[in-house]
Amino acid sequence: MPASKLDLLQGTLDLMVLQTLAAMGRLHGYGIARRIEQVSGDAVLLNQGTIYASLVRLQQRGWISAEWGTSTNNRKASSIPLPNEAANSFPKTPPTGSGSRT
């Protein structure tokens, strides 16, 4: 796959991750992946390696940070909050309409 197409796919996934965090708040990687799958009607299926690669890219760019804690089922898990300045950059709901932008 050409590098430009791979960059486009990675950028799209990164944007979906950021939009999910903006809409849902603090989540762990598994929760982010499941939410993206749910919202897409299972059109986008993500494995752990794919979602965590995206999270690492976003963390390296300083867009997100991870905080370790205990999950709801009492397991050690990293949760990812979206920084406030980034959260204000994303709409809470996806745009609706016929695809035209104003």
**pLDDT averaged over consecutive 10-residue blocks of the chain (102 residues)?**
63 89 87 91 87 89 78 67 56 47 41
The pLDDT value given to residue 2: 59
Residue 18: inside a domain, yes or no? yes
Distance CA 5, CA 13 (A): 13
Residue 14: inside a domain, yes or no? yes
The pLDDT value given to residue 27: 85
Q: How many domains does the chain have?
A: 1
Q: Domain range for residue 73?
A: 8-87
Q: What is the CATH number of the domain that holds 13?
A: 1.10.10.10
Residue 76: inside a domain, yes or no? yes
- What is the value of pTM for the model shown? 0.67
The pLDDT value given to residue 36: 92
Residue 96: inside a domain, yes or no? no
Residue 100: inside a domain, yes or no? no
Residue 53: inside a domain, yes or no? yes
Long-range CB contacts (within 8 A, 24+) of 27-30: 27/79, 27/80, 28/71, 28/77, 28/78, 28/79, 28/80, 29/55, 29/78, 29/80
Residue 71: inside a domain, yes or no? yes
Residue 59: inside a domain, yes or no? yes
Distance CA 95, CA 62 (A): 26
